[in-house]
Amino acid sequence: MRRAERFGTSVVMSEEEKRSSRAERFGTASSNEKAEEQKRKSRAERFGLASSSADEDAKKKARLERFGQSTNVDKAEEEKRKARALRFAETPSGPSQENGKDSSKPTQDAATVAGTA
């Protein structure tokens, strides 16, 4: 169409003809999907990849079985979790407790120094 205009010949196309010519040039969505699938298959064959949707579904199911979303926890595991929660829920023995002494309480030496200053 542009070429015809460049060389001075008149081309009169209806909207339907314009759309059909554009569809022929660029393809339609359904043919693009088929072309994409064909490209993927040829690429998989070339590089030795197995990319069928059935294989992907099987992999997903196997992964789900292996790692699972199951909330079934046996009693031993539940007891371990409770013991851990109790162990870490107690007062922390961090920098506030050094050598068995609670450093949050001022000692007499610190009180006397603070009083004389």
- In a domain, residue 111? The reply is no
Q: Are 39 and 33 in contact (CB under 8 A)?
A: no
Lowest mean pLDDT among 16-30, 77-91, 100-114: 100-114
Q: What is the pLDDT of residues 25-83, one digit of tens each?
A: 887 656 677 888 888 888 888 888 766 677 788 888 898 888 877 666 788 999 999 99
Domain span at residue 52? 1-69
Question: Which residues, other chains included, contact 34 with Cβ-Cβ below 8 Å and sequence gap of 6+?
Answer: none
**Domain count of the fold of the chain:** 1
- In a domain, residue 81? The reply is no
- In a domain, residue 100? The reply is no
- In a domain, residue 24? The reply is yes
- In a domain, residue 38? The reply is yes
What are the CA-CA distances from residue 57 to residues 17, 40, 63, 93, 117 (Å)? 43, 17, 10, 50, 76
- In a domain, residue 6? The reply is yes
- Whole-model pTM: value is 0.23
12/75: higher pLDDT: 75
Q: What is the pLDDT of residues 86-95, one digit of tens each?
A: 999 876 665 5
The predicted pLDDT at position 82 comes to: 93
- In a domain, residue 43? The reply is yes
- In a domain, residue 60? The reply is yes
Q: Which letter does DSSP use for residue 100 in this model?
A: T
Does pLDDT of 116 surpass 60? Answer: no
The predicted pLDDT at position 58 comes to: 85
CA dihedral angle for residue 51, residue 54, residue 60, residue 61, rounded to 10 degrees: -160
Following DSSP, what letter does each residue of 1-52 receive, concatenated? -HHHHHTT------HHHHHHHHHHHH--HHHHHHHHHHHHHHHHHHHT----
Question: Which residues, other chains included, contact 11 with Cβ-Cβ below 8 Å and sequence gap of 6+?
Answer: 1, 4, 5
Q: What is the pLDDT of residues 47-60, one digit of tens each?
A: 887 666 777 888 88
